[in-house]
């Protein structure tokens, strides 16, 4: 009753309000959980690099079984990050137009490249501003993947996915090409791209096929519009196909990885040789080996109910800061300083180890 007049107010049922709030705030738990888990695994690997013994954990001549697997498990991290970058871009079309998404990806890509070359290098990895020695790592590649995706989003998602699949499946045909050209190093072959008496720049993350992984992730975003049961079934089948494909191609030992597996003194170490695929750049077999389990985790192995104990990551700022912290711990450690052939240190340590790349000793992480 307002001033003698009867006023009827039609309140919406609380269930309807709750539903609207849920829809507005809905996030894909499976995507957030995978992001959270891979950040934990990445931190474990970098902790191993900080406290572990010197030496390459994938060198079967010196590494123990446990040490090998502390490194091997983290191979899941980078492919999942690149893949989910593409998936997240597709899902953001729920609230952005394609031109808006394209601009966002382009500017975010430039920002990540800046982080890698300036903030990361000077304040989180090498702790100097002289740029005598610079190692270009994962954020550089992720930034360029986003920039390329900013152009690809104007194509149909299936075409973008096909582009990525072809790049992943065929890029090992280029393994026999050995060039010292800096452009080739940027595209496919980790190497020194600048060497002068005062400065050396080493590129650890070539762009091929990481751009392809991001493109596949974008195309894969379409399945998250499906019913959960259908999506889980698809992801389970995809996981099985990729895993079987890895086993068959690796057993044939002819294509898919520049490093062939070989029989070792014990059956266990023969299995380790079988699993010891190439990450720089990621070979077809490396990606089959790592993305297969990743799809099973986000499909049938994902709990169907919300559990507060499951680690999740829904903040881009949090993921970026976590990466900074874990990289800082691994690179500023007694067992993982970055030096070049002349012995110039990045400023963190005087004990170069882990000769992962030619002419440079780099951290095992990332």
Q: Are 222 and 157 within 8 A, CB to CB?
A: yes
Helices 210-220 and 77-91 pack at an angle, to 10 degrees, of 40
Q: Compute the distance between CA of residue 2 and CA of residue 351 in angstroms, rounded to an integer.
A: 81
Using the 8-state DSSP alphabet, how is residue 332 labeled? S
325: Cα separation from own chain's centroid: 16
**Model-wide pTM > 0.85:** no
- Residue for token pair 């750049």: 281
Short-list 275, 362, 333, CA closest to 76: 275
Q: Where along the chain do its domains lie?
A: 28-304+312-351
**CA 114 → CA 52, 187, 214, distances in Å?**
31, 19, 20
- Give, for all 366 residues of the chain, the pLDDT tens digit: 445 554 444 444 444 434 443 444 456 776 777 778 888 887 776 777 667 666 788 999 999 998 899 889 889 899 999 999 999 999 999 999 999 999 999 999 999 999 999 998 998 878 889 999 999 999 999 999 999 999 999 999 999 999 999 999 999 999 999 898 999 999 999 999 999 999 999 999 999 999 999 999 999 999 999 999 999 999 999 999 999 999 999 999 999 999 999 999 999 999 999 999 999 999 999 999 999 988 887 655 454 444 444 444 444 554 555 555 545 444 443 333 344 333 444 444 333 233 343 334 333 445
Q: Are 263 and 270 within 8 A, CB to CB?
A: yes
Q: Compute the distance between CA of residue 364 and CA of residue 360 in angstroms, rounded to an integer.
A: 12
């Amino acid at each position: 009753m307002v001033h003698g007049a009867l006023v009827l107010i039609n309140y919406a049922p609380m269930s309807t309000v709750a539903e609207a709030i849920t829809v507005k705030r809905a996030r894909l738990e499976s995507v957030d959980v995978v992001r959270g888990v891979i950040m934990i695994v990445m931190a474990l690997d970098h902790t191993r690099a900080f406290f572990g013994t010197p030496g390459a954990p994938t060198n079967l001549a010196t590494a123990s079984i446990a040490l090998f697997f502390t490194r091997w498990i983290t191979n899941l991290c980078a492919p999942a990050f690149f893949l989910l970058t593409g998936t997240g871009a597709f899902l953001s079309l729920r609230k952005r137009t394609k031109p808006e998404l394209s601009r966002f990806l382009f500017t975010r890509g430039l920002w990540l490249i800046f982080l890698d070359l300036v903030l990361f290098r000077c304040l989180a990895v090498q702790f100097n501003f002289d740029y005598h020695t610079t190692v270009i790592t994962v954020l550089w590649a992720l930034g360029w993947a986003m920039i390329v995706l900013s152009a690809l989003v104007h194509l149909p998602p299936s075409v973008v996915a096909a582009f990525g699949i072809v790049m992943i499946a065929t890029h090992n045909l280029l393994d026999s090409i050995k060039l010292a050209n800096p452009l080739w190093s940027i595209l496919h072959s980790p190497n020194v791209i600048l060497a002068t008496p005062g400065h050396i720049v080493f590129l650890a993350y070539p762009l091929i096929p990481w751009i392809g992984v991001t493109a596949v992730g974008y195309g894969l975003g379409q399945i998250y519009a499906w019913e959960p049961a259908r999506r889980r079934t698809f992801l389970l089948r995809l996981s099985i196909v990729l895993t079987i494909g890895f086993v068959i191609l690796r057993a044939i030992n002819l294509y898919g990885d520049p490093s062939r597996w070989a029989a070792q003194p014990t059956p266990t170490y023969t299995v380790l040789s079988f699993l010891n695929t190439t990450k720089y750049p990621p070979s077809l077999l490396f990606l089959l080996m790592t993305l297969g389990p990743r799809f099973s985790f986000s499909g049938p192995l994902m709990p169907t109910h919300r559990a507060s104990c499951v680690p999740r990551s829904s903040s881009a700022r949090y993921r970026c800061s976590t990466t900074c912290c874990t990289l800082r711990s691994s690179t500023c450690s007694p067992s993982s300083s970055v030096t070049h052939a002349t012995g110039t240190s990045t400023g963190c340590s005087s004990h170069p180890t882990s000769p992962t790349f030619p002419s440079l000793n780099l951290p095992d992480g990332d």
